[in-house]
Amino acid sequence: MSTVSWITARGLFGRRRFLMLFPLPVVLVLLAVLSRSLGVDPGAWGPPVLVGLGLAVVLPVVALIVGTGVLGAEIDDGTVVHILTKPLPRWQIVLPKLAVATGVTAVTVAVPIYVAGVLAHSVRLGLALVVAACLGALAYSALFLALSLVTRRPVLLGLVYVLIWEGLLGNFVSGTKVLSIQQYVIALADRLAPSGLLETTVSVPVAAVMTALFSVGFTVLAIDRLRSFSVAGETS
Amino acid sequence: MSEPTGVIHDIGYQRYTGPRLGRRQVFGALYLHGLRTAFGLGRSAKAKIFPWLVVAIVTVVAAGVTAIRSQIGEVVMTYAQFADNMSWLVIFFAAVVAPELVSRDLRSGVLPLYFSRPLPRSDYPLAKLLAMVTALWLLLGAPQLVMFLGAAFTTGDGMNGVWNELLDLLPGLLYAGLWAVVFASIGLLVASLTGKRAFAAGGIVAVFLMTTPIVGTLSIMPSQTLNELAGLASPSTLVQGVGVWSLGDLLITGDAAEASHSLIGDFGPVYALAAVLLVAGCITLLLARYRKVATR
């Protein structure tokens, strides 16, 4: 484990605010357990809990808070200078931070969604959701990490993507689903474990290729942006 | 040692002896500044991007609805339904505005400067809250005014038609006010907990988004009482529940009216009580928070 990733992990967990991440997964598990114990038909509670809460809210919101936190918080505080002035290639800064962000997001999301998936259908669905959520965590983290280098307001721009692009437009204009990580995750999970609970219009090859493209493309963009990064004061 | 030879000249410094503005003016200045901050007025172009993006979207939607109604004659959404349909944008707007209003002051440590003025502790958060309520209300109310003007100028029944439209508009504006109060008090409370705007925005969205699927799940539980009370779990469905109870057919039109009644059952007053308690609780916590921050 490199020093950069250790510093990043400590920056994330060293403060009380990381406790903010816990209510989201806990609610997911609670709802799944409650629905199961009351004997509701999984076909009825599966989609709102697994997709509506798990893949559409918990995954992007956790990825947003963590993904913009690993680098954006340091840029905000101005402490990013300490890392930038060390004789490190830029990719050795970006990749460990991306790894930490992906890891934290994946663990936070995968555990509750595995429980929910097992309760809703089968162990196979649970594992499929875990794999898909991990891939989604990678793509989201790469996107939000790159955003925190491209703009000074990464969280708001990330919210525009999650709320307006994926949430609002995804419901009305089906064409935007081709550029929506959420739909890729659903498509991949459905392919790994066909259960009838997950529904999407994006085909599996498109989802796989686009997830890879999102992850690699935004990582390369982040490395490139960090190469010519200029330190500025807080925006007015 | 020689005698000191320096001379102190009287160059005419004077103390201010005129009238001093009091609490009301401080409150008014904070309120006006807060309202301007919400829309990024008097700040750089970067600060205007996000608020005006939301304003642009809701205005375009309202213009589209008006155009469809005047051309085809089909009412796509009533005034009261407008707020419901824009709920995601309201959440986003709250996440943009609330951190700007309170988190910046926390982060830059200027609160002692504010509280060294003749300003009671509670006035600062209340002025900010009022500014945010006004901003949200303008966001939801202005497009309704656009829809009203469009409908008033294309109405076929003369002044009578305009009067009917106005009677439809006023409850819509009141309903928008309810949205504004609930969302502003929750958003401001979350934002006042952290000095980092990024975390404040994330937290606000997490609170609002996380609660919506809870409603979806609770409403398919086998117990009917639980279904009808499910809306209490999320701020947006709570507001909608109050709206269904108080506005009735203005909010839900046509066939949906039957379904909507079973949505909240006979629990309308419970929803109204819950909304009042929620807002009162948030404001109490906000005031408590600022009592603590101010003594630091």
**What does the pLDDT look like over B146-167, one tens digit per residue?**
888 888 888 777 788 888 888 8
Amino acid at B183: F
A38 to B222: CB separation less than 8 angstroms, yes or no: yes
Question: Does residue B265 surpass a pLDDT of 80?
Answer: no
Going B126 to B129 to B135 to B136, the CA torsion angle's sign is: negative
Query: Any idea how long chain A is?
Result: 236
Q: What pLDDT shows up at residue A236?
A: 47
Nearest to A235 among B46, B96, B217 (CB): B46
Q: How far apart are CA B174 and CA A165, in angstroms?
A: 30
User: Which residues of A fall within a CB distance of 8 Å from B204?
Assistant: none
pLDDT per residue as tens digits for the range A95-111: 999 999 999 999 999 99
Domain ranges of chain A: 3-227
CA distances to A21, A44, B199, B296 from B106, in Å: 22, 45, 13, 11
> 3-state DSSP helix/strand/coil percent for chain A, to nearest 5?
80, 0, 20
Question: Does residue A234 surpass a pLDDT of 60?
Answer: no
Question: Does residue A136 surpass a pLDDT of 90?
Answer: yes
**CA angle at residue A14 from A115 to A22, to 5 degrees?**
25
User: B28-32, B50-54, B115-119, B122-126: which has the minimum mean pLDDT?
Assistant: B115-119
Q: What pLDDT shows up at residue B249?
A: 63
Percent of chain B with pLDDT over 90: 29
Q: What pLDDT shows up at residue B138?
A: 94
User: Which residues of A fall within a CB distance of 8 Å from B88?
Assistant: 163-164, 167-168
User: A103-107, A113-117, B134-138, B253-257: which has the minimum mean pLDDT?
Assistant: B253-257
Higher pLDDT, A190 or B228: A190
Range list of β-strands (E), A28-132: none
| Number of A–B residue contacts, CB under 8 Å | 106
Q: What pLDDT shows up at residue B260?
A: 52
Averaged pLDDT, B206-214: 83
Question: Does residue A220 surpass a pLDDT of 90?
Answer: yes
| Of B131, B119, B126, B142, residue with least CA distance to B37 | B131
B46 to A49: CB separation less than 8 angstroms, yes or no: no
Q: What pLDDT shows up at residue B250?
A: 61
User: Which residues of B fall within a CB distance of 8 Å from A65?
Assistant: 199, 202, 206
Interface test with A, best of B217, B219, B223 (most A CBs within 10 A): B217
Contacts of A45 (CB under 8 A, 6+ apart): A31, A32, A35, A120, B217, B220
Averaged pLDDT, B40-69: 89
pLDDT per residue as tens digits for the range B213-263: 788 777 777 777 777 777 788 888 888 888 888 877 666 555 455 555 556
> 3-state DSSP helix/strand/coil percent for chain B, to nearest 5?
75, 0, 25
Averaged pLDDT, B277-286: 94
Averaged pLDDT, A16-26: 77
Q: What pLDDT shows up at residue B169?
A: 87
Tokens of residue B131, six digits: 């500014």
Based on the number of CB atoms within 10 Å of its own CB, is A185 exposed (0-12), middle (13-18) or buried (19 or more)? buried
B1 CA: distance to closest CA in chain A (Å) = 53
| Of A87, A212, A220, residue with least CA distance to A146 | A220
pTM of the entire predicted model? 0.86
Tell me the ipTM for this assembly. Answer: 0.82
pLDDT-derived band of residue B67, with 50, 70 and 90 as boundaries?
confident
Higher pLDDT, A35 or A107: A107
Question: Does residue B203 surpass a pLDDT of 80?
Answer: yes
- Cα atoms found within 13 Å of the Cα of residue B48, Cβ hemisphere only: 7
* Torsion, Cα of B189, B191, B193, B195 (10° steps): -150
Question: Does residue A215 surpass a pLDDT of 90?
Answer: yes
Over the Cα atoms of chain A, what is R_g?
A: 18
B273 CA: distance to closest CA in chain A (Å) = 25
